[in-house]
Amino acid sequence: MELFWDLHMVTAAGKALGIMLDPWRLFILFSGVVIGLIFAILPGIGGLAGTALLLPFTFDMDPYTAFAFLLGLGSVIATGDTIPAIVFGVPGGAGSAATVLDGFPLAKKGEAGRALSAAYTASLMGGLFGALLLALSIPVLRPVMLYIGSPELLSFAVFGMSMVAALSGSAPLRGLAASCFGIMIAMVGSDPQTGTLRWTFDTLYLWDGMPIVPVALGLFALPELADLFISRTAIASHTVTDVRKGQLQGMKDVFQNWWLVLRCSWLGAALGAVPGIGASIIDWVAYGHALKTEKGAEATFGKGDIRGVIASESSNNAKEGGSLVPTIAFGVPGSASMAILLGAFLIHGLVPGPDMLTKNLDVTYSMVWSVALANVLGAGICYAFSPQFAKLSTLRYTLILPPVLAIVYLGAFEGQRQWGDLYALLFFGVVGWTMKQLKWPRPPLVLGFVLGDLIERYLFISVERYGAEWLTRPVVMAMFALAILGLARPFMREVRGSGGFVGMLSGFGRVHFPREAWFTVFFIGVVGTLLYISMDWNYDAKIIPVIVGTGAVVFAVISLMNQTMRGHDAVVHGGDAIVQQAQKSLHMDIQAEGQDHMSAKEIGLRGIIFFGWLLAYMGSMALVGVLITTLVFIISFMRIEGKEPWKITLTMAISVVVITWALFDQLLTIPWPPTILGDLFPALKEIIPSL
């Protein structure tokens, strides 16, 4: 019987390959790949909007062609959104945020070609590995998937949170405080257990919680653009190395780190197969894993280490094959885009489950081949255009900032398509820039945000269904043990470096207040206020927020004591040279370059001017709409800030407006933010669409 099943699988796989090599289907697959790369390059748009857009076009296609079209798009999103992450420091989607940490510093060093090449190669290998996992695991994974329940999902989420310690670098207390604050942000909205409105401040926008897109773009995109404005230089402060040579070096880097690629691909594919985990944390988990396991990583990650790019990119592309597993085998979507893909199953009369493993096995394997071929095509296209992408990093900041800012604003509006998305973008932009300037690690905040809701939900379900017995399940015990080990490791290193617990609890001096300490005081005040508000909630609604908020305050208070009562030149009395070097390492974040010669006052003033431009942009959007605002903003910014020639200025402004109108109004048909002028004069909406 097993031999028959193996022959049946091989026959179905061969038949599916022959079907997919049909020239017309290859053309459709190629079209999906190209569309996917375009959507990936635009920050905030991503595969979800693209898959939803293409779904109606598959009505008249056969199942093989339809899934080739849709999977061609979805499989290259993680490859394409690498481009803005590395070249501009702007994550194309939540799944590429970790790539920014080392990819953008490499671009600043003039090695954008190397970083892009390594990312494409790692994505290709990760995608192929994900497809291979899908091909091999579907027949045997059913018992495993049926075993996984809410306790196991909770343990996976807790293990993901243990990466906070690794992603905090030399500031573990600040990292833990930031991650707790991220969990609190994730709990904003209507409590799923009791319906209690938590921290909504009588704002309808917050009832459904905070969307990930404006949070991610605010924390990681706007701060990099702000620093580019402050330093007033090109992204690449060094001469760009030969791009073709850089491409070869990037490929060599990936093959030299093949074991890292394999491990992170395993992580990405395995986590992608777990419903509810999502792409937002997979790259962070892989990045944290590489940080903890690669030799010397703690001293170089976040400063332009190619291994950081390889780890995040090999994992986030492998997840696509993994997320197809529960979608095909059980009809349980492994991601939001897979939920839309289920619509294609219904359109073409296919039922996820046993039929996809027996009667429709050739359709299943056509999906495997679609993922594999799409990754090859996507990587090939990206390689071909890498020289052009790399050269973008050499452009003046006045040519880069205006169009990127316009796209970031429209991408953020994709969150819930409300004005609240834009307010959230600006708020988290200020928070992210402040954290970056004051050496607070931002990755833990994002990790806490994307995992907070999962932890609370699965905890309540596990307790309600299993009582205390869920703690004794083998997978739960193993994952909790790994999580505790991951959290304890940096603290034990800190203890060793401080001469033991006695050394940590002594050595305090006179109180002084550096500027970083004032932000910590402000942080404690904000969290304390949120805790005070939560006191009136239902017990079930407040228990987790109170625990997490209390933890945030405790970690922040201890950090404040270290900041204000320990001298900056304190001597480490114990520990070896490696420990002392690790203590001096920078927090796990991108360093602001080109500002060493500037005073804090000058940096702050230019930061205020930058965010003043953003406020003016939003005010104009509220008055006259996106298209007119984009035109006026680009012209004003380029002429005032850089005194760019009128020919270049007008060409840039008109091109961005036309592309924005064609893509968002004609192709995606996304509703524009409502405007004051449009409300006063409805007839004008027929003339100017964005009103």
pLDDT digits 0-9 by tens, 226-266? 888 888 776 655 555 556 677 788 888 989 988 888 888 88
Q: Both 578 and 644 in a single domain?
A: no
pLDDT band at 573 (very low <50, low <70, confident <90, very high): very low
Ranges 101-115, 206-220, 384-398, 646-660: which has the least confidence = 384-398
Q: What is residue 60's three-state secondary structure?
A: coil
- The CA distance from 380 to 645, in Å, is 36
What angle is formed at CA 367 by the lines to CA 364 and CA 369, rounded to 5 degrees?
A: 115
- Say if residue 607 is in the same domain as residue 502: no
Among the three residues 551, 584, 617, which one is the final residue of a domain in this structure?
584
Check: CB of residue 473 under 8 Å from CB of residue 151.
yes
Higher-pLDDT residue of 389, 27: 27
pLDDT above 70: residue 155: yes
Higher pLDDT among residues 53 and 16, named by residue: 16
Of residues 29, 6, 19, the one with CA closest to residue 381: 29
How far from 683 is each of 328, 669, 691, CA to CA, in Å? 49, 19, 10
Residue 492 CB burial class (10 angstroms; 0-12, 13-18, ≥19): exposed
Q: Which residue has the higher pLDDT, 681 or 495?
A: 681
**Alpha-carbon distances, residue 29 vs 80, 640, 687 (angstroms):** 16, 45, 37
Residue 368 and residue 253 share a domain: yes
Confidence of residue 430 (pLDDT cuts 50, 70, 90): very high
- 301 and 273, same structural domain? yes
Closest CA to 30 of 373, 325, 336: 373
Same domain, 578 and 672: no
Is residue 655 one of the residues assigned to a domain? yes
**pLDDT value of position 113:** 83
Rounded to two decimals, the pTM is: 0.74
Q: Would you say residue 447 lies in a domain?
A: yes
Write down the pLDDT at residue 76. 78
Instruction: Report how far Cα 359 is from the mean position of its chain's Cα atoms.
Output: 38
Task: Out of 529, 552, 584, pick the residue that ends a domain.
Answer: 584
Q: Of 558, 584, 610, which residue constitutes the final position of a domain?
A: 584
Pairing relationship of beta strands 189-190 and 197-198 according to DSSP bridges: antiparallel
Assess whether 576 and 646 both reside in one domain: no
CA dihedral 414, 420, 422, 423 (to 10 degrees): -160
pLDDT at 635: 92
Give yes or no for residue 285 having a pLDDT over 70.
Answer: yes
Q: What's the sign of the alpha-carbon dihedral 83, 87, 90, 96?
A: positive
The yes-or-no verdict on residue 646 having pLDDT over 80 is: yes
Asked whether the CA dihedral 290, 293, 297, 299 is positive or negative, the reply is positive
CA dist., res. 565 & res. 559, Å (int): 10
Question: Is residue 338 located within the same domain as residue 399?
Answer: yes
Quick one: 616 and 491 in the same domain?
no
Higher-confidence residue of 2 and 38: namely: 38
Mark whether 332 and 394 lie in a shared domain. Answer: yes
Q: What pLDDT does residue 595 have?
A: 67
The answer to whether residue 96 is domain-embedded is yes
* pLDDT score of 690: 65
| pLDDT of 370 higher than 80 | yes
pLDDT at 2 over 50: no
Beta-bridged to residue 197, according to DSSP, are: 190
In this predicted model, what pLDDT tens digit does every residue of 450-474 receive, in sequence order?
778 778 888 888 888 888 888 888 8
Domain that holds residue 644: 600-686
Q: What is the mean pLDDT of the chain?
A: 78
Name residues whose C-beta falls within 8 Å of residue 632's C-beta, 6 or more positions apart in sequence.
Answer: 620
Residue 655 has pLDDT above 80, yes or no: yes
Q: Residue 574 pLDDT more than 70?
A: no
Q: Are residues 577 and 610 in the same domain?
A: no
Residue 518 lies in a domain: no
Tell me the pLDDT band of 399, cut-offs 50, 70 and 90: confident
Q: Is residue 639 part of a domain?
A: yes
Query: Which pLDDT value is given to residue 570?
Result: 43
361 within a domain of the structure (yes/no) = yes
The answer, yes or no, to whether residue 163 has pLDDT greater than 80, is no
Residues 114 and 188 in one domain: yes
Q: Does 557 map to a domain?
A: no
Q: What percent of the chain has pLDDT over 90?
A: 6
Report the pLDDT averaged over residues 288-293. 82
Domain count, the chain: 2
Where residue 526 falls among pLDDT bands split at 50, 70, 90? very high
663 vs 629, more confident: 629
pLDDT value at residue 427:
92
Q: What is the pLDDT of residue 569?
A: 43
Same domain, 608 and 483: no
Interatomic CA distance for residues 596 and 420, integer angstroms: 36
- Closest to 35 (Cα-Cα) out of 57, 51, 21, 59: 51
Give me the residues paired with residue 189 across strands: 198
Predicted pLDDT at 584: 42
Per-residue pLDDT reduced to its tens digit, 59-83: 778 888 888 888 888 777 777 778 7
299-324 tens-digit pLDDT: 788 788 889 889 888 887 777 777 77
**Consecutive H or E run containing 179:** helix 172-186
Indicate whether 358 belongs to any domain: yes
Closest CA to 562 of 179, 165, 173: 173
- pLDDT at position 564 is 80
Question: Regarding predicted confidence, which is higher, 398 or 9?
Answer: 398
119-131 confidence digits (pLDDT tens): 888 888 887 877 7
Mean pLDDT of all residues in 330-339: 63
